[in-house]
Copies of this chain bind each other. A is one copy, B any other.
């Protein structure tokens, strides 16, 4: 079985990812950051945790080979393929209303935290806190001692693949950041393509 959909710019979507299934996220335009979360389908209180993953990682940044662990330290997802230059982030919180307010936005700005909340509620799983996301394609070179966030290093058509160790609910948010260079110098959030292959 193969399901493909377009994740529209600025929006989020949550969906089931069965054990063994492979999730491919294609950065159609090359410049779009995708905030990524995962929860155990049988207990959403167990979620993919960047801080637990880092303790057991063999690499200081996320990349091909990384085993993403839960807050119970169990493997949930494996980073199985990456056609991009391999620049992703796992240090920074998802954007939220307060982030845009601090950047000077007046009113309600779309944001990844609300995208996650809404998408999980839609599946019948309201959540009480926002775990630190895996920020696919986000170019935040903190490890180089640089506190900035730059346009993605990825190119049009670059993709990553994540494979599920257990039955999961995954949520993706095409980051709506348009007040910083996170999603490219044109600051224009764009669509990405998502494919799920169940073997």
Contacts and interface: CB of A to CB of B under 8 A. Distances in A.
Contact of A73 (B58, B60, B99, B145): B99
Contact of A91 (B45, B74, B91, B145): B91
Interface stretch (A7-15, A18-26, A128-136, A161-169): A128-136
A63 to B, nearest CB: 13
Interface residues of A, number: 32
A102 to B, nearest CB: 7
Contacts of A74: 98
Interface string A120-152: 000000001110100000000011011100000
A28 to B, nearest CB: 26
A130 to B, nearest CB: 7
A130 B57 CA distance: 20
Interface in A42-67: 45, 49-52, 54-60
Contacts of A52: 93
Contacts of A102: 56, 73
A105 interface: no
A51 B45 CA distance: 19
Interface in A90-106: 91-93, 96, 98-99, 102
A181 to B, nearest CB: 14
9 contacts: A45-B129, A50-B51, A54-B91, A57-B147, A58-B147, A60-B147, A71-B129, A73-B98, A128-B128
